[in-house]
Amino acid sequence: MHIPSSVWSVVLVSLPWAAALLDTALGASSSSHHSHHRKCRCQPSQSCWPDDETWSAFNETVGGRLIATHPAAYECHDPHYDEAACSQIQKGYYHDWWRPSQPGAYQHANWEVQDDDGCLGFNRTAPCHQGNVPVYTVNATSVRDIRRAVRFASKHHIRLAVRNTGHDFLGRSTAASSLSIWVFYNKRIDFDDAFVPEGAEDDDVAGTGAIILGAGVTWAEAYKAADDHNVMVVGGTDATVGTSGGYCQGGGHSSLSPHFGLCVDNVLQYKVVTADGALKVANAFQNQDLFWALRGGGGGTFGVVVEATYKTHPEFDSILLATIVVVLGDEKDLSELTRRWFALLNDLSEGGWSGVTRIQSRSISMIYEVPNQDKEFARTALAPFVDYVQALNNTAIIILTHTFPSLWTAFEATVGSPLVRYIKTSGTNVRLSSRLIPQEHLQTLERSNELADAVMDANRLHRGHQPSVEVQLVAGRAVTKGTSEETSVHPAWRKALVNVIFVGKWNNDVSYEARQRIARRMTSSTDILRELLPESGAYFNEADPDEPDWQQAFFGSNYPRLKMIKDAVDPMGLFVCHKCVGSEDWTEDLMCPRTH
Ligand SMILES: Cc1cc2nc3c(=O)[nH]c(=O)nc-3n(C[C@H](O)[C@H](O)[C@H](O)COP(=O)(O)OP(=O)(O)OC[C@H]3O[C@@H](n4cnc5c(N)ncnc54)[C@H](O)[C@@H]3O)c2cc1C
Ligand SMILES: *[C@@H]1O[C@H](CO)[C@@H](O)[C@H](O)[C@H]1NC(C)=O
Ligand SMILES: *[C@@H]1O[C@H](CO)[C@@H](O)[C@H](O)[C@H]1NC(C)=O
Ligand SMILES: *[C@@H]1O[C@H](CO)[C@@H](O)[C@H](O)[C@H]1NC(C)=O
Ligand SMILES: *[C@@H]1O[C@H](CO)[C@@H](O)[C@H](O)[C@H]1NC(C)=O
């Protein structure tokens, strides 16, 4: 049937409801042809929510591993107060090794709260609401558990949350009214010194040294095992971040990245349960689109990864660690010190260094490392900055350098040390805003000064809320070699040298309105960098939850292909998370499909 287009335009103008019909008809032949099958997710208050019997039957299919989930501090509040349980909770509450083992606790406590509803802290008589904590959790320890949970959520239209350590800075591993698939106890670690991806013809590929990681292995666990096996693996700087969940799927930067690329550049294979409940193998030889999307397109979006295989690398002969702490007598020196440090970053990169700098109102502290070098090398490399600081009056500088025989011993002595385990580092309210800084902005003094000033200007706008800036030298060199043919991380990563992060914190007693003000201010103060670096992006895993134009900021030119793969692999939108690929198809609370 041929209909002249002018007839349609008459209909469109005169009958609004016909326009909606037309949308649906046109949609049927376009990429959004699934949208009319998508439904709102069921909430516990609704009749479509499964009854107790149904949950009970489901519990049996997952080996009794279903947990009715409560906020971390539940038993410290009336009417659920339990003295013994509460005292255990208080011991672990602020520690990053306790939180990952609690199904209702997240690294940053603010993600346990929904608007004003939550259950934070230990005031026994203060209200305790479910907030943003899942209703049920499957403590999944097998592929079978995961597949059954995926099918159950899909069948009953229940919001799904995929959770590993709960470290996410954008709250993507939890959701209100959800069923959580918790993969943390999948602790398989194996090595294969001549790994060949499944589906490759044996003579196509030379075997590669590889580490095979269950979905719940943390970096401390993987580093220890790798050291025992005399190899290294590209991973995070924190002991308790997960190896195969959101960290790597979102990019994964490492102190080893300047030498071996981002985590995504080191992935050889994923095994993943997709929305249809099938277990798929994704590598260079099969499910290549899915493999590409999982290398940078973000966690919680394309399926549940049950196993990841990463390249291993021969160990360094030694690793030199340099720790510098500068305590300022006069705050006005901070801007010039920041300029001097930024001016050094490009040379440090060329010298093989990587590391992190923290700038606070009265101090700058850094921890940097370089392989196979001696103290004299460190002295010369750091001299331009150190000499300047030493000439300042009123300013203290402490410099410690130490050579370790291996990366593991260096890790064990610093972030992995038992001492650090007992520092309270989590369970507080945190949000970030960040920007990737292109290397070309750090290659001339004029531009690096401009950048340092912009960072300090943005920092100043945070003042009053415990401002702090983190400058991570984790890109450049090997990271520049990766391409968008192989990985889906923002192409800005390939031009970047450092990642700059602004950290915002607040106490539990800060009102909802004040929290919103802090959030707005964090987003707006970072505009200085967005405007200075319009071609760059923000790192998906360490980003502002309110990042404007997020598809562009997180994925750049890779977004359209990511969205196509998302629609193909998860047509019903079972996996959704905040500012994740395809989330624009859902309402703000991610509970209902958007009607156009
Ligand atoms: C203290 C600390 C240090 C950090 N250091 C670094 C660093 O050095 N380098 C760096 O790049 N980042 C770092 N990060 C950021 C880190 O990459 C993110 O917090 C990341 O989201 C953590 O992933 P996870 O799986 O451990 O956490 P989770 O919060 O459990 O999950 C994060 C996201 O991944 C999804 N997900 C989890 N498991 C799976 C799975 N098996 N399959 C599919 N999706 C899954 C979740 O749904 C969620 O969307 C750090 C974070 C913290 C808190
Ligand atoms: C699931 O079953 C186990 C074992 O029978 C039980 O301990 C647990 O409480 C059940 N979970 C729920 C949510 O009922
Ligand atoms: C504890 O919570 C109650 C109820 O919200 C409140 O009235 C009281 O001031 C709180 N106590 C403290 C010490 O914050
Ligand atoms: C989850 O399962 C693991 C492995 O069986 C077990 O050690 C852990 O105690 C369980 N956690 C909870 C909260 O049920
Ligand atoms: C530090 O103090 C000395 C002595 O008072 C002075 O000569 C010098 O100029 C000062 N240095 C700086 C950088 O202000």
Question: Which stretches of 422-485 are DSSP H helices?
Answer: 445-462
pLDDT of residue 14: 38
Relative to the CA of 68, which ligand 2 atom is closest?
Answer: 13
List residues near ligand 1 (CB under 6 A).
Answer: 107, 162-169, 172-173, 183, 215, 236-238, 241-242, 244-247, 249-253, 299-300, 304-305, 541-542, 577
What is the Å distance from ligand 4's center to 114 Cα?
Answer: 26
Ligand lying closest to the C-alpha of residue 293: 1
Burial class (CB in 10 A: 0-12, 13-18, 19+), 135: buried
CA 173 to the chain's CA centroid: 10
Judge if 193-249+257-315+557-585 and 319-555 fold alike in CATH terms.
no
Ligand 4 contact via 180 beta carbon (within 6 Å): no
List residues near ligand 2 (CB under 6 A).
Answer: 59, 64, 66, 68
- State the Cα angle at 220 between 217 and 225, rounded to 5°: 80
Say which residues have a Cβ less than 8 Å from residue 358's Cβ, sequence separation at least 6: 364, 365, 366, 468, 469, 470, 471
What is the Å distance from ligand 3's center to 128 Cα?
Answer: 12
Residue type, 321: L
pLDDT of residue 355: 97
What is the Å distance from ligand 4's center to 104 Cα?
Answer: 13
List residues near ligand 3 (CB under 6 A).
Answer: 123, 125-126
Contact 296, 246 (CB under 8 A): no
What is the Å distance from ligand 1's center to 242 Cα?
Answer: 6
Each domain of the chain, given as residue ranges in start order, spans 48-182, 193-249+257-315+557-585, 319-555
CB atoms closer than 10 angstroms to residue 55:
17
Give pLDDT tens digits for 478-499: 999 999 999 999 999 999 999 9
CB atoms closer than 10 angstroms to residue 434:
26
**Which residue has a Cα nearest atom 4 of ligand 2?**
64
Cα 401 to Cα 341, 367, 387, distances in angstroms: 18, 10, 16
Place of tokens 């409560």: 70
Give the domain 193-249+257-315+557-585 fold.
3.30.465
Cα 325 to Cα 333, 366, 367, 398, 401, distances in angstroms: 15, 6, 9, 5, 12
pTM exceeds cut of 0.85: yes
What is the Å distance from ligand 4's center to 522 Cα?
Answer: 38
CATH of domain 319-555: 3.40.462.20
Cα 33 to Cα 18, 23, 38, 553, 580, distances in angstroms: 18, 10, 10, 27, 20
Give the domain 48-182 fold.
3.30.43
**Which residue has a Cα nearest atom 39 of ligand 1?**
245
Q: Which residues of the chain register pLDDT less than 50?
A: 1-35
What is the Å distance from ligand 4's center to 63 Cα?
Answer: 12
What is the Å distance from ligand 2's center to 248 Cα?
Answer: 33
Ligand lying closest to the C-alpha of residue 63: 2
